[in-house]
Amino acid sequence: MIAEAVPRVPPEVLPSDRPARIAVLRALALGDMLCAIPAFRALRRALPDARVSLIGLPWAAELVDRYPAYLDEFIEFPGYPGVPEVQPVDATRVTAFMEQMQARRFDLAIQLQGDGTSTNTFTCLLGARWALGATLPERPMPCAGTWVPYSPHAHEIDRQLVVISAMGSPGDDGRLEFSVRDRDRDDLTNALDGARLEPETYVCIHPGAAAERRQWAPERFAAVADALGERGFRIVLTGVESERLILDEVSKLMKMPAIDLAGRTTIGALGALVADARLVVSNDTGIAHLAAALATPTVTVAVATDPARWAPIGPANHVVVGGVREANGCKHPAGDPHRCFGDGCTYETRRTGTQPTAEVLAGDVIAAASELLDAGHLGA
């Protein structure tokens, strides 16, 4: 947890005669959402009777269903100017959405998405009695609320927990969690379409990532997959359908056979697959955090991200190769509260498009994977 003085939400802004109505904004992808689970858990501990509504991307409706102890309702994010991860903004839809939210009279609106440059305005427009979120210290308060200093180089899990600590909640250990259900294993069986995988006998290779700049070279993923296949492990290629091109490229470059599950797994089926894998090798993307939640060892290739912010954290062994802050174009000291776009690059770097990436060789990742496998005294 970040050691800073955190302002507190005044207790009088929450009702004493009924459960509080709370809206939480976090309209992001799988890995980002898994990193917020400790914050959702801490919020529930602080306000056990509150009704918590998650404003998220369409896929996150499943997240609400999977974490009923922490989240009560899903509300689809309509898009908003300056907020990434979504389709082009429809002003009519956004206006109608805000009118609906304001009519609901939330007691508290919580922003758990970035430094608040655009998301704090969105959060204020929800019309809640009080707002809570992170902000850069030089920015004025956008509405009545509690605004926590944004820490650009803290780990994502800690950053969300610091915001929720303003509720006066007890500390949280930052543990990720993901429960694999029977139906998830059934979905995995259907995705495998007759193929059989025994636990601990296979390695998941995930060469895709939402942002192209975070994708390691396909030929290097292929080399890693072949090296692990030569150790006797079955290789399973994972990814969403939009990553089909890079998965096809990796598959064509491989000499060893692989099971290709790209675009064939639900989130639950992917969880079931990862839970029984011996190892996950991926870019810095959602599957690494899913593996951390399931205590599966990982090797994460960070070619354009800051591991201090995004490294998977969990009870298993997790190794990050590459990704030093200097390689991401961020020259500011770690304590400097400037705004970092994306994963550590400064405004000037982002604007000019000159952000460099870390050079990670296949041998580096093979060595890291071998060390993890040897530590477990396991081969297939």
Q: Whole-model pTM?
A: 0.90
Confidence at residue 306, expressed as pLDDT on a 0 to 100 scale: 83
In the chain, what are the domain boundaries?
A: 11-165, 182-323+358-375
Confidence at residue 32, expressed as pLDDT on a 0 to 100 scale: 95
Confidence at residue 16, expressed as pLDDT on a 0 to 100 scale: 95
From the number of C-beta atoms within 10 Å of its C-beta (0-12, 13-18, 19+), residue 283 rates as: buried
Residue written as token pair 């990862």: 274
Q: How far apart are CA 175 and CA 148, in angstroms?
A: 22
Ranges of H-type helices in the chain: 30-46, 61-66, 91-104, 119-125, 156-165, 182-192, 218-230, 244-253, 267-275, 286-293, 307-310, 347-352, 362-375
For residue 303, give the nearest of 318, 329, 284 by alpha carbon.
Answer: 284
Q: How far apart are CA 178 and CA 186, in angstroms?
A: 17
Q: How far apart are CA 89 and CA 357, in angstroms?
A: 30
Confidence at residue 358, expressed as pLDDT on a 0 to 100 scale: 62
Question: Phi and psi of 322, rounded to 5°?
Answer: 90, -170
With H, G, I as helix, E, B as strand and everything else as coil, classify residue 76: strand
In tens digits, the chain (380 residues) has pLDDT values of 444 578 999 999 999 999 999 999 999 999 999 999 999 999 999 999 999 999 999 999 999 999 999 999 999 999 999 987 667 899 999 999 999 999 999 999 999 999 999 999 999 999 999 999 999 888 888 899 999 999 887 899 999 999 999 998 777 899 999 999 999 999 999 999 999 999 999 999 999 998 888 899 999 999 999 999 999 999 999 999 999 999 999 999 999 999 999 999 999 999 999 999 999 999 999 999 999 999 999 999 998 888 888 899 988 799 999 875 544 445 555 544 444 444 444 333 333 344 445 689 999 999 999 999 998 644 44
> What are the tokens at 118?
């655009």
Same CATH fold assignment for domains 11-165 and 182-323+358-375: yes
> What are the tokens at 256?
């060893």
Residues 270 and 34 sit within 8 Å (Cβ to Cβ)? no
Confidence at residue 335, expressed as pLDDT on a 0 to 100 scale: 47
Q: How far apart are CA 154 and CA 334, in angstroms?
A: 9
With H, G, I as helix, E, B as strand and everything else as coil, classify residue 46: helix
Q: Which fold has domain 182-323+358-375?
A: Rossmann fold (3.40.50)
Confidence at residue 85, expressed as pLDDT on a 0 to 100 scale: 66
Per-residue CA distances from 51 to 43, 69, 264 (Å): 11, 11, 34
Angle among Cα 355, 29, 27 to the nearest 5 degrees reads 105
Q: Give the number of other CB atoms < 10 A from CB of residue 351.
A: 10
DSSP state, 327?
Answer: G
Confidence at residue 213, expressed as pLDDT on a 0 to 100 scale: 83
Confidence at residue 3, expressed as pLDDT on a 0 to 100 scale: 44
CATH code, 11-165: 3.40.50.2000
